[in-house]
Structure 1
Amino acid sequence: MENGRKNWVNGANGQEHETPSNITIKGIIGLLVANIDADEKRRVISLGMGDPSAYSCFHTTPVAEEAVVHTLQSQKFNGYAPTVGLPQTRLAIANYLSRNLPYKLSPDDVYVTSGCTQAIDVSLSILSRPGANILLPRPGFPIYELCAAFRQLEVRNFNLLPEKSWEVDIDAVEALADHNTVAMVIINPGNPCGNVYSYQHLKKIAEIAKKLKILVIADEVYGHLAFGDKPFVPMGVFGTVVPVLTLGSLSKRWIVPGWRLGWFVTTDPTGNFKHPKMVERIKKIFDICGGPATFIQAAVPNIFEQTEDVFFKKTINILKQTSDICSDLIKDIPCITCPHKPEGSMAVMVKLNLSLLKDISDDIDFCFKLAKEESVIILPGLAVGLKNWLRITFAVEPSSLEEAFGRIKCFYQRHSHQQKEH
């Protein structure tokens, strides 16, 4: 077993098995890259990290770049911003999100964060109390478990159902919740599954959350990146049914993950989060946390107002093309199957059939050997909560995607039971 894999599977002391709650996707990918043979001449192709800006077919709009240059050169935004965010930025985000809601958000509902990761941490921080638990989807985004561990929130996982387009197992949610449950997390469009929830399914989620007297944390970092039959519906539409915390960012839709501009928004028209003590608690957390750069915040109003639909349509068309390529190429590799064709976001989950492989023990083994032998990086399913599955990112230029799958097919043929012994 390679050293990198040992460090992950056995832990730093060689004994404890690490789980998604104590290792990040970036950490896993770093171990996979470190496992690549130093003598390998081929370029590394990563289908593991959801950073589309790494590929030339994905780039942000010049409007966004010009807005940032303008605010930087103005020399008006070199100082500290208010800890909750610049007033004009909060207003712009409120107006942007209100376009798709049956009510209007106020700037006071919006808190500007350093990417969606900080928004996740803030949401769990305000909910934490002794004995509390939170319901997280499986598979899901491992940062939630990491933040929950730091905040001493017990994690209870409910399954997403691959045979039902990765819908939430509503019955499981009801069975898991008790009087100490504070919230459930919904990621839509789905990371890592590439699903998009229908209006009716989101309504069922809101109704069960209301019945259980818990709130919904709606992770919509991939908001509007939907290219299937179902349009993106923000969870905040159901804010009058159940309190919703909406988390999002510029990162994916504008293809600028490195700008670290996100938001934490109380999409809660009934006013549950307007209680003075709750507002004070939220603001104190933001007093502790640093937000994104002031000049990036200041660019947001122009970015929202001036970005044309043609930019978004181009991104959606590319993602539709690459997701189709990904789905078609998966069919040519017998040891992996895709139960649900992606409809949104930038990733898909595929099932690994170990019975067709003669010397692969699990999904981690598959990914480490694939990296070493073929210089292709994909994420083991265990990292997102599903053992012997794989997460594949398709926000990659088509030629690189095709080359990567060609190498994965060679890897399968080399390790297949059907491979003749010499």
Structure 2
Amino acid sequence: MSLPPVKTRERLSEVRYEIRGELARRARELEAQGRRLIKLNIGNPGAFGFRAPEHLQRAIADRISDTDPYTHQQGLPQAREAIAAFHKQRGTPNASPERVFVGNGVSELIDLSLRALLNPGDEVLLPSPDYPLWSAATILNDGRPVYYRCLPENGFLPDPDEIASLVSSRTRAIVLINPNNPTGAAYPRELLEKIVAIAQRHKLLLMCDEIYDSILYDDAQFTPIAPIAGDLPCLSFGGLSKVHRACGWRVGWAVLSGDPVASGNLHHAMDLLGALRLCANVPGQFAIEAALHGEDTIAPLCAPGGRLYEARRAVTESVAASRHLQLVSPAGALYAFPAVTGAAAQGFDDHRFALELLETQDVLVVPGSSFNVPYRNHFRVTLLPQPDDLREVFRRIESLLDQYAQRESDAQVAVA
């Protein structure tokens, strides 16, 4: 007798995460066949030869004998003190170790904080495009994502008036990703002030994903939102994975700022949920103080001549030379989000393009629609490969798009 399939949660059908989804599975199949792929789907520095800084590695090694026991559910006291001190230097109000939560990466803390916040049917205002974990965590915690547009013609910056128009009686929070993944947009202070004013008017929680805060190019500036928010409850997320190239250590943090009384219930809820999972990875927490108060190792990589800067240059120059692509040059973070335009864009489907690029050109990218946008003519690449590898990637992309444009031209001739 055959057994019936095990039923799974129905809301999973609403969740998409193509960064590690169907295309990534197909890539593994091709690699098993001996194909050599250039994989640009994940912002994973260690996979491209980057290493966590040596002083962070030493900080863990020197304390490895102290890493066996569980620690406090909010994190090691000295780690939380270092995070609080870092945020005080930024002007974060009421930043204290008691209001810092250390998690297994920012991903865990996003899920934990939304679980602490949402009741069924509550709404969260999210950017479109967003990092899709934000949408997934909202849905899986019984909330409803409501998207405000960050349009390419506006430099992928949101319109505060649109954000204000989307607030309803069920809205609980406004999420910002700054600098943005996937677009690389960095939000100016004036824009952040307008968004804070909306949150203050409607008594909404601000949740700002700032994991790329020090990855900036040219004259781009990062402005943290918590000092602007003042007494308004705000969660600021950061971690070791991107700026410090230590993804596998799974170390992230969230700082709850603003009026302690107004945010007291949220603090207790997050503390309870943190206790239920006992604690975050302990060894990596010993690197936090060295990361936040030690040598700056990311700025040289983002300056002219630095590897990330030159990778970004390779992408922007390749797109500028393309007959089929446009790009809002990323001001920060580790990604570019090009658009396909012109004849090649006629009837274009980003997922079909990504699959064909993988199958015929051995390049793995992420379809733009995976980031919860309504249009289907964008794709995301990471800036982590060597610059010459990225130039080769865009040569292959151009070759495929040439075929698309030629097919469109042939179709137009046939119709005529």
Q: Common fold, TM-score beyond 0.5?
A: yes
Q: Does 1:119 align with 2:109?
A: yes
How far did 1:204 drift?
1.1
Secondary structure of the corresponding residue to residue 116 of structure 1: helix
Q: Does 1:334 align with 2:323?
A: yes
CA distance in 1, matches of 2:408, 2:34: 23
Could you tell me the percent identity over the aligned residues?
Answer: 26
Aligned to 2:292: 304
Aligned to 2:354: 367
Check conservation: 1:19, 1:383, Cα contact below 8 A. no
More moved, 191-200 vs 390-399: 390-399
* Counterpart pick for 2:368 among 381, 389, 402: 381
CA-based RMSD of the aligned residues comes to: 2.5
Aligned to 2:5: none
Q: Does 1:405 align with 2:399?
A: no
CA distance in 1, matches of 2:14, 2:364: 18
What number of residue pairs does the alignment pair up?
397
Letter in 1 for 2:177: I
CA distance in 2, matches of 1:413, 1:291: 52
Check conservation: 1:331, 1:337, Cα contact below 8 A. yes
Q: Per-residue CA shift, 1:190-214, capped at 9, x if unaligned?
A: 1010111111111111111112221
CA distance in 1, matches of 2:23, 2:227: 36
| Change over 3 Å in CA distance of 1:300–1:196 after alignment to 2 | same
Q: Does 1:295 align with 2:280?
A: no
How far did 1:158 drift?
0.7
| Change over 3 Å in CA distance of 1:44–1:252 after alignment to 2 | same
How far did 1:51 drift?
1.0
Aligned to 2:153: 163
Aligned to 2:6: none
**Which residues of 2 match residues 264-303 of structure 1 at below 5 A?**
264-268=254-258, 270-275=259-264, 277-303=265-291
CA distance in 2, matches of 1:89, 1:110: 9
Secondary structure of the corresponding residue to residue 71 of structure 2: coil
Q: Does 1:69 align with 2:57?
A: no
Letter in 1 for 2:388: S
* Counterpart pick for 2:17 among 8, 12, 23: 23
Check conservation: 2:103, 2:281, Cα contact below 8 A. no
Letter in 2 for 1:81: T
CA distance in 2, matches of 1:274, 1:138: 27
Letter in 2 for 1:71: R
CA distance in 2, matches of 1:221, 1:20: 25
More moved, 184-193 vs 209-218: 209-218
Aligned to 1:55: 48
* Counterpart pick for 1:352 among 340, 344, 363: 340
Please give the TM-score of this superposition, normalised by the length of structure 2: 0.88
Aligned to 2:414: none
Q: Does 1:217 align with 2:217?
A: no
Aligned to 1:343: 331
How far did 1:68 drift?
1.3
Secondary structure of the corresponding residue to residue 357 of structure 2: helix
Structure 1: tracts of 5 or more residues without a match: 1-15
Q: Per-residue CA shift, 1:361-410, capped at 9, x if unaligned?
A: 40000000000001101110111012221112112211211221122122
Q: Does 1:250 align with 2:240?
A: yes
Q: Does 1:189 align with 2:189?
A: no
Letter in 1 for 2:180: G
Check conservation: 1:198, 1:230, Cα contact below 8 A. no
Q: Per-residue CA shift, 1:6-40, capped at 9, x if unaligned?
A: xxxxxxxxxx9x98723352124423414648766
Secondary structure of the corresponding residue to residue 66 of structure 2: coil
How far did 1:125 drift?
1.0
Secondary structure of the corresponding residue to residue 287 of structure 2: helix
Please give the TM-score of this superposition, normalised by the length of structure 1: 0.87
How far did 1:308 drift?
1.3
| Change over 3 Å in CA distance of 1:347–1:376 after alignment to 2 | same
Letter in 2 for 1:131: G
More moved, 293-302 vs 230-239: 293-302
| Change over 3 Å in CA distance of 1:157–1:400 after alignment to 2 | same
CA distance in 2, matches of 1:100, 1:121: 25
How far did 1:243 drift?
2.0
| Change over 3 Å in CA distance of 1:389–1:281 after alignment to 2 | same
Letter in 2 for 1:176: L
Aligned to 2:3: none
Q: Does 1:313 align with 2:299?
A: yes
